[in-house]
A and B are shown apart, each in its own frame.
Chain A
């Protein structure tokens, strides 16, 4: 059972446009939501993360929007650039659990055309 559902599977955006990737979860115990970015031939790397006590977190052109009541969160990439072309994974963690594992979405392959 997929603990974190991610959409779309792939996304094509023109340079300068806004890229939006959405994720949803069911487990209300999740209290940490990171996004990972993966370039071809590399491992995923942490991009930005949010805790549920805030509704939005912004770092440069990257913004996470969080809707606790809907159990959804999304990544917005403003002014998308060809260098942003990568696979993006959302994830969720229950920090109070002793299990210590992160649950990942299936990933979104983003292509930004110049």
Chain B
């Protein structure tokens, strides 16, 4: 399995520009998470989906952030307009739980390698 695939790996953009981060979860996984990591705040959960439906977006910092999951194999996180304080590493992660005979096998979250965003 290729794992969780994120793009772009690195992005440098100017303040005010739109940024779109992309994620392909592991095939068959039914949960998808978007995290942001900074030195100051650690690993923050922004939003997550179950079966393509957003479950909790309370971690999304403000209206400039939006996320979509149009199908089971693709999700986007969009920032419009971007600001320097959005500079961070954004991780996508996925997990499989549905239909497990025991819940233990569905507890592992698999992370992508992250998208490093710098807004100047």
B83 at the interface (CB under 8 A from A): no
Contacts of B113 in A (CB 8 A): 41-43
Contact between B107 and A43, CB atoms less than 8 A apart: no
Q: Give CA–CA (A110, B43) in the complex, Å.
A: 16
Contact between B43 and A107, CB atoms less than 8 A apart: yes
A-contacting residues, B99-115, CB 8 Å = 103-104, 107-114
Contact between A101 and B103, CB atoms less than 8 A apart: no
A12 at the interface (CB under 8 A from B): no
Contacts of A43 in B (CB 8 A): 4, 91, 93, 111-114
Main secondary structure of the interface of A (DSSP, over half): loop
When each residue 82-110 of chain A gets 1 if its CB lies under 8 Å from chain B and 0 otherwise, what string results? 00000001000101000111101111000
Contact between A100 and B55, CB atoms less than 8 A apart: yes
A62 at the interface (CB under 8 A from B): no
Contact between A101 and B56, CB atoms less than 8 A apart: yes
B82 at the interface (CB under 8 A from A): no
Q: Give CA–CA (A104, B108) in the complex, Å.
A: 13
Q: Give CA–CA (A100, B33) in the complex, Å.
A: 10
Name the segment of A15-23, A44-52, A72-80 touching the other chain.
Answer: A44-52
Q: Give CA–CA (A64, B45) in the complex, Å.
A: 24
Given contacts A89-B43, A104-B43, A107-B43, contact A44 B111 (CB under 8 A): yes
- Residue of B55, B91, B108, B114 touching A34 (CB-CB under 8 A): B108
Q: Report the minimal beta-carbon distance from A52 to chain B, rounded to whole angstroms.
A: 13
The interface of chain A, by Cβ under 8 A from chain B, is 32, 34, 41-46, 49, 51, 89, 93, 95, 99-102, 104-107
Q: List 5 A-B contacts (CB under 8 A).
A: A49-B108, A101-B33, A101-B56, A104-B43, A107-B43
